[in-house]
Amino acid sequence: MPKKKGFEFLEHTADAYIAAYGKDLVEAFENAALAMFETMTDTKKVKPLIERTVEAKGSDKQSLLYNWLEKLLIMFDVEIMLLSKFRIEKILQTDLGFTLVAKVYGEPYDPLRHKQKVGVKAVTYHCMEIDEVAKEVAVKFILDI
């Protein structure tokens, strides 16, 4: 796997296809969240003024990634809050699957300051991949826009 930083948008005919990278699963999931919000707006203009704790669970790593991103998307839809900073405190594996606990930071959407790019309707499992090799993790997923 080539050494990459952050995330990149991959070619796709209709939706947003994203590859996010990290030195471990935590960093890759943080970068996946940042990429999802970068799909919606310029995250550099989103101030980390409000902190929220987010917990996501999944039976495997793919469902954990899906549920993590889905929780953040619901937060945007319900609270109209853009996020720009993500700190996953832990990802635990148990007999029942995986649990993720994170602090996320952002501010309410302000149409005067936050340029709207495209709306994200949903996270999908389509083409979802998690590739873990020594000291590098890549996650790929598609957002329905």
Mean pLDDT of 49-57: 98
Percentage of the chain beyond pLDDT 90 is 90
Express each pLDDT in 59-86 by its tens digit: 999 999 999 999 999 999 999 999 999 9
CATH value at residue 58: 3.55.10.10
pLDDT reported for residue 4: 58
Domain that holds residue 28: 16-144
21 in a domain, yes or no?
yes
pTM (2 d.p.): 0.93
130 in a structural domain: yes
pLDDT score of 118: 94
Structural domain includes residue 11: no
| Count of structural domains within the chain | 1
Residue 49 lies in a domain: yes
Tell whether the model's pLDDT for residue 8 goes beyond 50.
yes
For residue 135, being part of any structural domain is answered with: yes
Alpha-carbon Rg for the chain, nearest whole angstrom, is 14
Joined together, the tokens standing for residue 65 give: 């990634």
Q: What is the pLDDT of residue 40?
A: 97
Q: Is 114 within a domain?
A: yes
Q: How confident is the model at residue 2 (pLDDT cuts 50, 70, 90)?
A: very low
Q: In degrees rounded to 5, what are phi and psi of residue 30?
A: -60, -45
The residue type found at 99 is T
Would 7 be classed as within a structural domain?
no
Q: Is 31 exposed, middle or buried (0-12, 13-18, 19+ CB in 10 A)?
A: buried
Determine, yes or no, domain membership for 3.
Answer: no
Q: Can you give the pLDDT at residue 5? A: 72
